[in-house]
Amino acid sequence: MYLYNLTLSRASGIQCAVYGNFSAPKAQEIVVSRGKTLELLRPDDTGRVQTIFSTEVFGCIRSLAPFRLTGASRDYIIVGSDSGRIVILEYIKEQNYFKKIHQETYGKSGCRRIVPGQYLAVDPKGRACLIGAMEKQKLVYVLNRDQAANLTISSPLEAHKSHNIVFCIVGLDMGFDNPVFAAIELDYADADQDPTGEAAGNAQKQLTLYELDLGLNHVTRKWSQEVDNGANLLVPVPGGADGPGGVLVCAENFIIYSNQDHADVRAVIPRRTSLLTDRGVLIVSYATHKQKSLFFFLVQSEYGDLYKVTLAYSGDTVTELKIKYFDTIPTCTSICVLKTGFLFAASEFGNHALYQFLSIGDDDDAVEASSAELMETQEGFQPVFFDPRPLQNLRLVDEVESMSPIMDFKVANLLKEEIPQLYAMCGRGARSTLRVLRPGLAATEIAVSPLPGNPTAVWTLKRSVNDAFDAYIIVSFTNATLVLSIGETVVEVNDSGFLGTVPTLRTQLLSDDSMLQIHPSGLRHIRADRRVNEWRAPGRRTIVKAATNEQQVVIALSGGELIYFELSLTGQLMEVEKKELSGDVVCLDIAPVPEGRQRSRFLAVASYDSSVRILSLDPEDMMSALAVQMVNAVPESLLFIDSPAADIAGKGEDATGAGGLFLNIGLLNGVLLRTEVDKVTGQLSDTRTRFLGTRPPKLFAVFVRGKRSMLALSSRPWLGYSDMGRYTLAPLSYEALDYASGFASDQCPEGFCAVSKGMLRILTLERLGEAFNQQVTRLRYTPRKFVVHPESNMLIVAEADHAAVPLAERAAMEDAMEADTAFTDGIEFDEDRAAVEEQHGAPKNSAGRWASCVRVLDPTSLQTSSVLELDGNEAAVSLCLLRFSNWPEEGMVLAVGTVQGLAFYPRTADEGFIRLYRFKDAGRRLELIHKTATGGIPGALAPFKGRLLAGVGSTLRIYDAGKKKLLRKCEHRKLPTHIATLATSGDRIYVGDLQESMHYFRYKANENALYEYADDIAPRHMTAALPLDYDTVACADKFCNIFVTRLPRDVSSQVEEDPTGGKFAGVAGLLNGAAHKLEDVVNFHVGDLVTSLQRAVLQPGGREVLLYATVMGAIGAMLPFTSREDVDFFSHLEMHLRQEHPPLGGRDHMSYRGSYFPVKDAIDGDLCEQFSQLPAAKQKSIAEELERTPGEILKKLEDIRNQVY
């Protein structure tokens, strides 16, 4: 088995974000790391955050830092990763890519304790950077520029200190004095040696300054001082001419200003009134805002509260430190203050957000803690309290969707649509959501209005070529034409000059601002001054088809005659040439006029004999055939599109060779062909095919991101556009349309208007580049697992939160509870209150306290039909649907595994239960049948031959139904750790252990015994398992790997037949293992923790793939190869790309994919797809090695992607 890994939807969680000017001076940009992808984001003028560029780095990014050389106006990006190398990147705006400026190796690869990469600190003046490890090692690189103003990097200077754990490192602002880095360090040398524990108790964190002496080229430990033992984060304070310098030490409950030769200035962090007294307040992210005359810091606590920190100082002496409550937003991994007055918040889990500053919190009366008012009492420092309030200083401008983390997902077609939907359980705590994903772009309806009669076609026209927005919408019916004018409202007009009594075939705004209407009996040319020229079709012939651009018009008459017109310099449409064809024309199209040219050279004509001809429109060889392509069905529609790559071709390194003109042909059988047209000779080559749907695709040109793109209307609409330099054909999640045209107006700068079923619709696409569009509904607690009821199609979700207060006990809820007693098992708490909780976070409880519920949800309306809140500190951890064979009258029941008082480190629980529910009201409500104590944590449940199979702690057990309780029938006690996953197939049971990989079991009915016959040799920490066939299971582990494990064939048959009559049951393996061992057939490091695996076909006629969802919110697919030839081709392509295009982060691709286990029989499609980003010369050389052309390779890549969806 060979698998091809393809990321369908990139990770959407953010690991860290940095702000800077990367593409141009003053450009407000954010570079984010999504774990293994690096992205450049930029808020556009309307405040929407746009992804400008995204690339996979095939490494684990751990830290990012922007830095700029003194006097420069743009920032570089330093990347600290698991590659054992420091990498400096520059964003190249013209070609839209990250250029690797420097890559210096300093250590082993991997996220190791003493190999730097975890911490990055830069000197604010851009003279040096420090890259540090969790322990011991710190390397300082001196950065400079050479005479040609190129960035140079020195060899590293060591600032190691053994036995020191590092909590944080920052670069201090020293003005132009020697660069200094500050670190929080904790020495463990003594604690390791002292058996009394006294040394460990006395261990003291130190704030240490490391000075880089630029003159001596040497790093020294300059100064060290004891610091609060709760210190976790440092914030550098502007120095030199801008401020007092030094550093803010953020510690649990305190922020302390500290500097060399300066007494500490300490202030308490205000805490929420509702917070339990034993909980501290830890600062987790910060941003500094610096203007000419003032600076302040925004810091965020672990609960999401933002504080504004200001310093009062004179000269170098800080007199007061103030911490003022600012606002509350969801907890972030990074926050960035943009110079334009925005705050970008990269949330830990759930959607990210862009906020606008309404004020900087100067003149409100929010709670403030000051160092001057610090009160020390006998129990420590006097705390300051506040209550979170709705946003006051910030205003939400844009939300960036994030699915991180996907806890569980399933693919099912519950809504009876053409393609199945993905149901993903995302988020955590109060920000949990159920998202229904459909492959395709989300189309937003701006307006829908009914039209009289049944429209056949629609166009939009501008008033002048230079206008930004459209002025008219022209709708054609079978016997009439309607002209609508776009203004404040859309109204019908009669003074446009268009003929209303005939149907229209085509309209066009010509380059001299005159308008053209083509109708069956002639051409109507409406000059800019409203004079009208008419051209009538000769004799009884009518115009059947027409194609136009701003300069040229071609019409096809019935009987197969082509007439070609050109716009003359005097503004007249002149007939230039005629051509008789042998038969009727089905469709035709003219290529757009290339920039700076008079006319386009190519006309494409399709006829009923299934041929497409390219005719020349050059005066020299007018109407001569340049090329012919035979297609396998009658064409329906033709469209020329410039390839998006065309405009960057030849501009240097990253330009692709694929730039060119493409002819798109929609065929009657629903297939879309895309053929490259040679821009000089008109020759057709390199045809790609794609099945779009059951209706013949009609093709229309629309503008997407300012580029002419293609809208193809089949049984669903598709959009062919350029996404980050790559041509993408993506379906729209919208109903079928009949006819469409581009549309631009004030409210909708880039959209399209379309007609379907007597309605005029104006649509816009908001989130381009996203593979799935989402429908979201809120959940109450973190979703753990869910199942789909096969008959009622209802979703049943188990939700549970650790250290949370159950809804009924929340103080804010009590009043509501009194008003409405049916509240906890009622429908859902109201939307306003949920929104507040989402903003402020759910209240915290002490460890070992749980809040949990089981929810039944209707997938059609996304409405909750019932919620059962669990009481008694129970948490639902597993669930399954089953039918008991000894209880057939009950039908399908739901088993929910719950655990009471679950606590971690170590994992203990008071008691576990299996609750059995029956369905009521057609599956909309649950009713408890009974509850059975299990004596352990029921981590996994599965139906097995009309009984219930349960993994209880490390015990595998079979239960049968009883009237009062579940009855234990059989058990196996000896699993190594804890059962995490259970799956069954026939007699076989596949058990995934929390730490010890897969175990295969068999149930012997006549002996009523479970016995283990095979296990894995590697200790895998299982998170998900999915049986592929009787012998094979696809699994995912906690260390971000996917693997497929298989029972060897001979063992499989032995086990099945077992002629000895149960001898195998008695055979014991060595060292407590099973008698047989599983073999890994595929091994692949995904680089992201996979939480769920599914098998699915994502499109009609598509192939079945293995889908996975991850903690960072990515969805990927593993496609099994069907031919040896493809395997060879792709493994060679992958091999060449590894050499020719090493990953951006500096990690070796093969070692990354084999981080834990050597990569086996899996080909990385994400790397292969980067082939299209290579410069043309490199593409060519790789293609030659593979004995193909670059076009063929690109085609293969596209084909294999199209097999998935």
Partner 1 sequence: MATLQDRFNINSQLEHLQAKYVGTGHADLSRFEWAVNIHRDSYASYIGHHPILSYFAIAENESIGRVKYNMTQKMLLPCGVPPEKEEEL
Residues that bind partner 1 (CB under 8 A): 13, 15, 35, 60, 62, 82, 110-114, 117-118, 133-136, 162, 165, 167, 186, 188, 191-197, 200, 203, 232, 282-285, 302-303, 331, 333, 348-349, 404-405, 407, 428-429, 782, 801-804, 847, 904, 1038-1040, 1087-1089, 1110-1112
d(CA 791, CA 776): 23
Peptide bond preceding 405 in cis form (omega within 30 of 0): yes
Residue number with CB closer to partner 1 (160 or 695):
160
Residue number with CB closer to partner 1 (283 or 626):
283
| Residue 82: CB minimum distance to partner 1, A | 6
- Give the DSSP H or E segment for 771: none
Residue number with CB closer to partner 1 (104 or 194):
194
Residue number with CB closer to partner 1 (348 or 1134):
348
| Residue 750: CB minimum distance to partner 1, A | 35
Q: Which letter does DSSP use for residue 1197 in this model?
A: H
| Residue 878: CB minimum distance to partner 1, A | 15
The token duo for 940 is 């996994």
DSSP reduced 3-state for 820: coil
| Residue 190: CB minimum distance to partner 1, A | 10
**Cα–Cα distance list, 120 to 81, 109, 130, 600, 870 (Å):** 10, 17, 6, 54, 45
Residue number with CB closer to partner 1 (346 or 543):
346
| Residue 781: CB minimum distance to partner 1, A | 9
| Residue 301: CB minimum distance to partner 1, A | 8
The token duo for 928 is 């408890």
| Residue 197: CB minimum distance to partner 1, A | 4
**Cα–Cα distance list, 152 to 147, 211, 724, 1142 (Å):** 10, 20, 30, 21
Residue number with CB closer to partner 1 (165 or 1127):
165
DSSP string spanning 358-393? S--SSSS---EEESTT--EETTEEPP-EE---S-SS
d(CA 240, CA 742): 55
d(CA 473, CA 91): 41
DSSP reduced 3-state for 963: coil
Q: Which amino acid is at 1057?
A: E
d(CA 506, CA 338): 48
- Give the DSSP H or E segment for 765: strand 759-765
DSSP reduced 3-state for 483: strand
DSSP reduced 3-state for 716: coil
Quick check: 406 and 424 in contact, CB under 8 A? yes
CB neighbours of 64 closer than 8 A, spacing ≥ 6?
A: 16, 17, 18, 31, 33, 77, 78, 79, 80, 120
Residue number with CB closer to partner 1 (718 or 781):
781
Quick check: 361 and 28 in contact, CB under 8 A? no
Count other C-beta atoms under 10 Å from residue 393's C-beta.
21
Residue number with CB closer to partner 1 (1055 or 1107):
1107
| Residue 162: CB minimum distance to partner 1, A | 7
| Residue 857: CB minimum distance to partner 1, A | 21
Residue number with CB closer to partner 1 (15 or 95):
15
Count Cβ neighbours within 10 Å for each residue of 346-365 and write b for 16 or more, e otherwise.
bbbbbbbbbbbbeeebeeee
| Residue 344: CB minimum distance to partner 1, A | 17
Residue number with CB closer to partner 1 (196 or 466):
196
| Residue 685: CB minimum distance to partner 1, A | 44
| Residue 651: CB minimum distance to partner 1, A | 35
Residue number with CB closer to partner 1 (13 or 455):
13
Residue number with CB closer to partner 1 (332 or 518):
332
Residue number with CB closer to partner 1 (331 or 643):
331
Quick check: 1040 and 1088 in contact, CB under 8 A? yes
- Give the DSSP H or E segment for 342: strand 342-347
Residue number with CB closer to partner 1 (251 or 605):
251
Quick check: 12 and 1114 in contact, CB under 8 A? yes
Question: What's the CA dihedral at 769, 770, 772, 775 to 10 degrees?
Answer: -130
The strand order across the sheet containing 671-677 reads 635-642, 661-667, 671-677, 684-691
Question: What's the CA dihedral at 942, 945, 947, 950 to 10 degrees?
Answer: -30
Residue number with CB closer to partner 1 (429 or 751):
429
Residue 86 main-chain phi, psi, to 5 deg? -95, 130
Q: Which amino acid is at 980?
A: A
Quick check: 131 and 86 in contact, CB under 8 A? yes
| Residue 780: CB minimum distance to partner 1, A | 13
Residue number with CB closer to partner 1 (413 or 846):
846
d(CA 862, CA 436): 9
| Residue 871: CB minimum distance to partner 1, A | 19
First to last CA, the chain: 21
| Residue 9: CB minimum distance to partner 1, A | 16
The strand order across the sheet containing 717-723 reads 698-704, 707-713, 717-723, 726-733, 441-450, 759-765, 751-756, 739-743
Q: Which amino acid is at 138?
A: K
| Residue 367: CB minimum distance to partner 1, A | 21
Residue number with CB closer to partner 1 (133 or 1163):
133
Residue number with CB closer to partner 1 (282 or 759):
282
| Residue 1168: CB minimum distance to partner 1, A | 23
| Residue 436: CB minimum distance to partner 1, A | 22
